[in-house]
Structures are given as C-alpha cells and as structure tokens.
Chains A and B, each alone.
Chain A
Amino acid sequence: MLPEVISLAGIGLMASVGLGIAAKKLAIKEDPRLEKILEVLPGANCGACGYAGCSAFARAVLGDEAPINGCVAGGESTTRRVAELLGKKVEKTIRMVAVVACRGSKGYTRQRFVYQGIDNCRAAVNVGGGSKACAFGCLGLGSCQRVCPFGAITIEDDLARIDPEICVGCGLCVEECPRNIIHLVPASASIHVHCSSQDIGRWVRDFCDVGCIGCKQCEKVCPFEAVKVRDNVAEIDSEKCRQCGLCLQVCPQGTIQYIYPVKRMATIKENACVSCGRCQMVCPFEAIRGEKKRPYTVIEERCRGCGLCVDVCKVEAIVLREVD
C-alpha cells in the first residue's frame, strides 16, 4: 500500500513541478489588453472590418494597423470602449444600415416562369435571369439572409426585409446580392426609394405594382432638391433629405417608404423667440405663423419636422422633438 502511495505522489510531484516550470519558461507573452479588447468586441466574427474575425481585428487594433472604429458591427459604443482601453480619442462614427431597394414581394411582382432549383440567388440569376419578371428585383431566395451574422434579414413572400434595429451595417449582404440592390445608408435617414428598376415606366407597370415608374412627382415636390430621377428610377440624396415625407405622399406607386417611421415636429420656445420671422420665411410648408413682438407658433398639422427653421434660428429658440 505505502510504496504505491509514495510512488504515485512522487510522480504527481514531479509532473507538477515540470508543468510549473514549463508554464513559466514556455509562456507566450501576449498583450494583456488583447483579452480586454476581445471582451468588448461583439464576437460575431462577421468579418465586416476586413479581418478574419474579432481576434484578428483586436490584434490589428493593438498593432495600430486597423482603425479604432473599424468594428462596424459593434458601432459607437464598442468603438468608445476600445478607445478607452487603448487610451485614444476617436471621432464620431455614423451608424449605417442596409436597405433593400425593392418592394416587389409575391403579390406585387409578376413571375415569368416556375423556378425549380437550388435556393440561392446567385445560382438563380443564371437560370434565365431569375423567375421574377423584373430584372432588377429581389429574387427572394435568401442568399443575403444566410450571410447575415446578426439575423437581421428575413424573407417574406419572396422578398428580403432588413430590420434596421438589428442591422449593424456590416455590408456582407450588400456584397452577396447578385442584383446589387442592397445599399448601405446612414441610419439617420429613414426615407428610401424601394426600387432599382432602370426599365421605362410602361414596362415597370407591366410587371410590378410597386416599382418606380420615373414619373418625377417626387422630384418636383421635394423642397430640398434631394430627389433626382436618374436612369428611370428616383434617387434620394441622404445628405440633402430632411425626412419631411412629401415625396412619400405623392408617389403613385408607393415606392418611397420609411424604413422606420420617425415623426418629428418643431416647437418654438416662447421665452426665447425674438419674433424675427426668419423661420416663417424659410418654412416650405407654411407651418409657422406669428406677428411682430409676439412669439411665433408652429401649426402642428402642417409641420413635417424638416428642421430648416432650427437651422436659421439665430437665438436657438426652436427645437425638434420626436412625436408618436
């Protein structure tokens, strides 16, 4: 009994000493910050930063090869925390989201033929250009859904829909889409043209109920010259667009849509207003009224929250607030 115990204990002792020495001598020195950065990163390994996963990105950030705001998926909060860990300052990043420029789901867009084959958009376009009558429309076979690491994309009625709340703007779907109809847009912009068809209006009407027919009504109605019809399809310049939603109301096809409804309204602080009248002059919707020496007021039914008045007000008496 005793010899066995002693010999086993001896082996155990020798092994533990060996391991202890090995752990000290053969240890790989790693920056302690690496693990901390990894904890901060989302860990989805989406690859949107251009590196093979989160740990590769973390190493690159430590080695000053990657920009601190390189993690698209994590967004602003991650960037801020990474910057804190490294003791660096970072500029504000604009959050981007992906938008599918097509509304042609099963009920809206005609089918040319019955497609029987593999569920993959890239393979389907090789079969007669896809079964949807529109050569620019979403094929709805879910290639984008499968590459999305965040589950932001769903396919309903043969159409990809992206949830802007979940989307982090990594752009993987943009690259995967064989039709090139998914675009990255600033998350602050909510109004988009949900069509990519460069066909002339007559053709679009033939095969789709919700496609842009290039009628230019949106272009005419836009007070900010943000909408332009180019190649038979309307385009909204998200820098000029102020989300007033006029184009959305005149569009006969319902092609222009909010991706998430934002309703904003201007309010004038009574005690700050100096009754200069600038806001009234600039308002494209005639939503401000007032008279001299008294605070101006906003007509709520007319205001569309474009914020032009906020920009011109010299005394900062106007604010935009979100309403339900």
Chain B
Amino acid sequence: MLLHRFPGGIHPNDEKGLTAHLPIEDAPVPERVFLPLSQHIGAPAEPVVKVGDEVRIGDKVAEARGFVSANVHSSVTGVVRAIGPYPNAMGRLSPAIEIETTNDSPFQPDKNREDVLSLPPQTLIPFIREAGIVGMGGATFPTHVKLSPPEDKPIRSLIINGVECEPYLTADHRLMLEHPAEILEGIIYIRHILRARVIYLAIEANKPDAIRVMKEMVGERRINVVSVPKRYPQGAEKQLIKTLINKKVPAGGGLPMDVGAVVQNVGTSFAIYEAIRWGKPLIERVVTVTGRGVQTPKNLRVRLGTPVKDILELCGGWKTTPGKLILGGPMMGVSQYDERVPVTKGTSGILLMPREEVGEYHPHTCVRCGHCVTVCPMGLLPNFLGIFSEHARFEDAERYHLLDCIECGSCTYICPAKRPLVQMIRYAKGEVLRRKKKAAKK
C-alpha cells in the first residue's frame, strides 16, 4: 500500500540482534513484589487492601480513582506486607503496595468467553477497565479511555502498533512471533468495540519474520499488515497515523480520535485478549533485558512489581563496569540509580549500558546548524525552543508550539553541540504549565 512520510526522523543503530532471536522465558515468581499505585497516566489508584491481608493472584489491590485511572492487581499470591513509599522509575518515592509471595501458582482463569463478538460492544469496555489495562508501549494511558471516544468522533481507522522503533527493544517483536493468534483475537475485539472500518497492523521493516507470521495469521481477514520503513520515531502515535492514513493530528492538544483514528500497541491487544476472553487482569508483561552490559540478554515474561534487581540476578547481572541502567529504550527510557525500582505496566525493557558506551557531554552554545530542525518529527524548531528555555522566555516557547513536542529525543541525538534539548524542552513545558496553573488561580 501507499505509505506517506512523516517529516524528520533519525536512523540510530537498532541493536535488536542481541535479543530478537531469544524466545520469551517465564521469569520465576519473585519473593516480593512492589506494586506502585501510579503505573499509568492519570490519578493514582486507591488501595483496597490493608497490611496483613492475604491476596490471591489477580485480586484487585488498588482501585482506579476517576475515569482516567487504572486498577492495580496483585501479581502473586501472598500477604500484603506494607503500603508506603517505594522508589519508582522517575527517581522519586511514590506509594506502592508490597506483597510477600507465599505461593507461586500461576493465574487460573475462571472464565472462558467464547461468544465475545455476539456481546454488545459497550459491554466489553468494563472488562478492559476492570483488568487495569494501559498502553503497553510505554505511554501507559488507560486503554478504556482510548476505547471510549465521544459519539461525535467516529473511529474509522484502527491502527495496531507493532513498530517497536526504540532501539534494543524486542518485547513486541517476540510477542508477535509467539502469540500471533492471541494478538489477532485482541485486534478483532478492539475492532468490535470501536466499529472501525479499516484496520492496519504496522510492523517495522526490520522484523520480516514478524510480518510474515502476522500475515499468515491474518489470512483472508480484512486487516492490512503493513511493513513500515525503519526510521525513528516511526512507532510514535502521530507519526504512525501520518504514515498510514496521511492525516495530521491537530497541533495544540489534538488527539488521534480527531482524525478518526485509534492506535493500540500489540502488547495492549494481547492484554485485551487475555482480559476479555479469560478475565485475566494485567499482572505480567514481556520485558526485554538487553544491552552490552548484561551477562545474558533475555526476553522475559515478568510479574508486575518485580524489582529490577531480581531480574538482573536472573540474567547474570552486569558483565562490565556499570555505565547506565535504563528502564525503557535508549531514546525515551529513564536512567535509574536504584536497582530496587519495580517493573511496571509501562516497562518495555531494561537496558544495561557499559561504562565505555556512556559518554560525558559538556554542552556548547547552539551552533545554528539546524540539524535538530531537519530531524524533528513534529516539525518544530528545537533549537529555538532550547534557547527560549535557557533564557526563561516561556511565552515565546509556547508560541513556537512547545507543548506539541513528543519528547522523542531525535534532536538531542543529532545535536553536534551536545545540547540537552529534550531536558530544556521538558523544563520549559513544566514552567509553562506551572505558570498557567498560577494564572488560573489568580
């Protein structure tokens, strides 16, 4: 099919060879899990258990507060030991539920809904909501919200995102190879919910095996399995929409539903299948443990709340002098200093970079080369946004569409002056929002 090009983009080494050939292994059940109450975008969940309570695997331990929020379920059978502050992936302490495992039995589904497609679409959304499913690509936006578009915005195109454009990560890739039938079933459920007319399953061209497997699985069904060119950030929502249906999501807070599209990750489709068909809540996910710093790279199915430390032990720990430990991919992931942080719903990878791969940078002034402008996939001017941020000219930054930045990191990657542009932009965003809040108060 005819593909369209989004502006900009970069071509980092994808480094997926480290783990792309490794089948998904089940990680052993950890001794303790730490389930943060906020693993999603939106209001943190409210605990519904007390210290000392016994919980079974799949029991709800924290309930969504408000519409944009998600439930949290126990990923092990055990006893609640504490509810209190615990390090999170953002480097701060946030409330989490600590559960000590007493029994490592797997989740036993008590339901088997075979007649899903005969149920009215609206009745399926509560299943997804109940299971606490959020966007598994990393953004962790509650899925039930995305699947409930307002009446006046009909969804024409459903885009399933199997691009996985972040270097190193292979979790979605392996999932497509090993669970194509489940993913397809999930896609069919989502189509049923949204009544979408056109369905795309986008996979980056560097995963020919996944494209083949998914094509075979789809067969004669009206789902377009599309091979999209390898370019970062091809898997970003707005860029993918532009590539497939040649529509631009409006700037200034527009959503994909404004152009009649919904994008869902393949991991989310898999979770939706499990939730609707078997009543299984989101209690585990596939995590790629990779990088040149780790002894044995692996693709692991990990219980949510497992501390990174346990996973590192399982993979033999550091092979070299530690440089950086990143949760997520190298472009948008977050560096960690504490190995106690738990795997959460949005953790797609654990990346260990050896000391020699981690450079120390001393930023210069902008040399006005314009590289960042050519690579920005949103068509922004990161050079000016950075300069405005440095000089606290936040109104000017806002005029230059600061808030439309998707923080993909392409500009920082390409900048020859080694300017931390994403950090500057993120800081400016924070300031703009803070000032707006302050103005609203007055």
Could you tell me which A residues sit within 8 Å of B by CB distance? 112-114, 116-118, 120, 122-123, 126-129, 135
Contact = CB atoms under 8 A, between A and B. Distances in A.
A117 B90 contact: no
B390 interface: yes
Contacts of A122: 427, 430-431
A128 B431 contact: no
A117 B337 contact: no
B334 to A, nearest CB: 8
B423 A135 contact: no
Contact of B90 (A112, A123, A129): A129
A120 B360 CA distance: 18
A128 B91 contact: yes
A118 B423 contact: yes
B360 A129 contact: no
B426 interface: yes
A234 B101 CA distance: 40
Given A118-B427, A122-B430, A126-B430, A135 B92 contact: yes
A112 B420 CA distance: 20
Contacts of B363: 118
Closest 9 CB pairs of A and B: A128-B91, A123-B427, A113-B337, A129-B92, A129-B91, A112-B337, A117-B423, A117-B420, A123-B423
Interface residues of B, number: 21
A129 B341 CA distance: 14
Given A112-B337, A128-B335, A128-B337, A118 B424 contact: yes
Given A112-B337, A117-B420, A118-B427, A128 B360 contact: no
A126 B420 CA distance: 13
Given A114-B360, A128-B91, 18 more contacts: A113-B335, A113-B337, A116-B360, A116-B420, A117-B423, A118-B389, A118-B390, A118-B420, A118-B427, A120-B427, A122-B427, A123-B426, A123-B430, A126-B430, A128-B92, A128-B334, A128-B336, A129-B90
Contacts of A117: 420, 423
A245 to B, nearest CB: 35
A112 B334 CA distance: 15
22 contacts: A112-B337, A112-B338, A113-B335, A116-B361, A117-B420, A118-B389, A118-B390, A118-B423, A120-B427, A122-B427, A122-B430, A122-B431, A123-B423, A123-B427, A126-B423, A126-B430, A127-B423, A128-B92, A128-B337, A129-B91, A129-B92, A135-B93
Interface in B352-373: 360-361, 363
Interface string B83-107: 0000000111100000000000000
Contacts of A135: 92-93
A122 B394 CA distance: 14
Contacts of B389: 118
Interface in B306-337: 334-337
Interface string B405-426: 0000000000000001001101
Interface core residue of B92, B336, B390, B423 (most chain A CB under 10 Å): B423
Majority DSSP secondary structure for residues of A touching B:
loop
A114 to B, nearest CB: 8
Nearest to A113: B337
B424 A123 contact: yes
B84 to A, nearest CB: 12
Contacts of B390: 118
Contacts of A129: 90-92
Contacts of B91: 127-129
Nearest to A147: B392
Interface core residue of A112, A122, A128, A135 (most chain B CB under 10 Å): A128
Contacts of A123: 423-424, 426-427, 430
Contacts of B431: 122
Contacts of A120: 427
Nearest to B359: A116
A126 B92 contact: no
Interface core residue of A112, A113, A118, A126 (most chain B CB under 10 Å): A118
A127 B89 CA distance: 10
A135 B85 CA distance: 13
B337 A126 contact: no
A277 to B, nearest CB: 55
Contact of B426 (A112, A114, A126, A128): A126
Contacts of B334: 128
A127 B420 CA distance: 12
A126 B427 contact: yes
Contacts of A127: 91, 423
A128 B424 CA distance: 15
A239 B205 CA distance: 71
B127 to A, nearest CB: 36
Nearest to B424: A118
Contacts of B423: 117-118, 123, 126-127
B80 to A, nearest CB: 22
A290 B119 CA distance: 97
A123 B91 CA distance: 14
Nearest to B336: A128
Nearest to A175: B438
Nearest to B362: A116
B162 to A, nearest CB: 31
A103 to B, nearest CB: 23
A245 B335 CA distance: 45
A177 B93 CA distance: 20
Contacts of B90: 128-129
A171 to B, nearest CB: 15
Contacts of B92: 128-129, 135
Nearest to A146: B392
Contacts of A113: 335, 337
Interface string B422-442: 011011001100000000000
Contacts of A112: 337-338
Contacts of B420: 116-118
A116 B361 CA distance: 7
A74 B361 CA distance: 43
A122 B432 CA distance: 12
Nearest to B334: A128
